[in-house]
Amino acid sequence: MTNSKECFKNLLSKVGSGENTSRGMSREESALALKLMLQAQASPAQIGAFMIAHRIRRPEPQELAGMIDTYMELGPKLKSGKNQRRPICFGMPFDGRTKTQPIYPLSTLVLISEGQPVVLQGGKRMPIKYGVTTSELFSALDLNLADISKTNLQSGFEKYGFALIHQPSHFPIADKLINYRDEIGKRPPLASMELIWTAHRGEHLLASGFVHPPTEENALKVLQILGEANFVLIKGLEGGTDLPISRACITKRVEEHKIERLIMHAKEHHCSGKDIAWESLDQWKNYAIEALNGTGPLKKALLWNAGVYIWLSGMTKSITGGIEQAEECLKSGKAIKTLENLIKWSKDSKIYQNSL
């Protein structure tokens, strides 16, 4: 343990020596630093100092890539089933939403209803926003996804094409670092890394949200270092992957390593409107059920988001075609039926887990 702390001290000196003398870590050094933190081989004082120093200096692309290497080594691993379509893996801030109504749980239900697998990730309410979480939103729809075992998570993904990597349940050593976010009062570089990490192994389409252009450019470089061939970076609502309907949506799409800038306009597809403000979980639940039935104030946002992601996944040749497919899904009741099937699966899974 002493040797580990001395090793970490040397890594800390690289990022915390001041503006003129601090320097970036290599990919391997960054991977080691995070491993020592996750395995509690660095002291609490060292971990807190590292997080705040690294935030002030700003992580470099190879450092974030190294951190992802460690998450891939120590974290949960999810694999697609035989002949399963490549999933869309959504990366969004783990500290949730506080300003706008989330759309992604609803677009997820439409996507998997249409045979497009989806992987989400997140945890409990956490600093610094303490916003509403993915698991809370699904729980409001009576779909309880926390505490699903890794075995049932994998089998459910293969059967239904849907998985939520819930950090407290599936990656508890990472969850132990959450308190540091509150104590330092800032998002650490871990928060940037979480936007571009996925537990899925194999071919997938990674969708990552961002707010500021420097974040977008950094994410692009990290994903290129990691060898990700297909991904889309989205200036979404609150740094997430929900596409706004009140303004143009700025994205950068990479297909087989080829970069394309895309600016999409909801108004060109009759989906423009106001991004509805967040008020309460009860209100969101009512709006969500209405949208899944093809009505209500979230309908346009749902059609826009689900339609664009259907197109990005390759199921249609145009955004218009994706929106039409999403609308038919809602009209036919497929999305509601998918929700009902997932609710039954989650309840059966927990009954089985409790019987062991």
**What is the residue extent of each domain of the chain?**
2-74, 84-337
- 166 CB contacts (<8 Å, ≥6 apart)? 121, 122, 123, 135, 145, 146, 147, 148
Q: What is the pLDDT of residue 351?
A: 66
Q: What is the rounded distance in angstroms from the CA atom of residue 207 to the CA atom of residue 92?
A: 9
Residue-level pLDDT at 26? 95
Residue 12 CB: number of other CB atoms within 10 A? Answer: 21
Task: Report the topology of domain 2-74.
Answer: 1.20.970
Question: Which residues of the chain fall below pLDDT 70?
Answer: 1-2, 17-23, 351-356
40-98: per-residue pLDDT in tens?
Answer: 999 999 999 999 999 988 899 999 999 999 999 999 999 999 999 999 999 999 999 99
Q: Is the peptide bond before 128 cis (omega within 30 degrees of 0)?
A: yes
Q: Which CATH class is domain 84-337?
A: alpha beta
Residues 6+ apart with CB under 8 A from 284: 101, 102, 132, 137, 140, 278
Q: Is 84-337 in the same CATH topology as 2-74? A: no
Instruction: Compute and round to an integer the Cα radius of gyration of the chain.
Output: 20
Long-range CB contact pairs, 220-226, < 8 A, 24+: 220/252, 220/254, 220/259, 221/61, 222/61, 222/64, 222/65, 222/68, 222/196, 223/196, 223/254, 224/257, 225/27, 225/61, 225/62, 225/65, 226/65, 226/68
Q: Could you tell me the two tokens for 91?
A: 């990366």
Q: Which residues of 165-189 are buried (b: 16+ CB within 10 A; e: fewer)?
A: bbbbbbbeebbebbebbeebeebbb
Give the C-alpha separation, 141 to 53, whole Å.
41
Q: In what order do the strands lie in the sheet with 88-91?
A: 162-166, 118-122, 88-91, 205-209, 231-234, 249-255, 258-264
pTM: 0.95
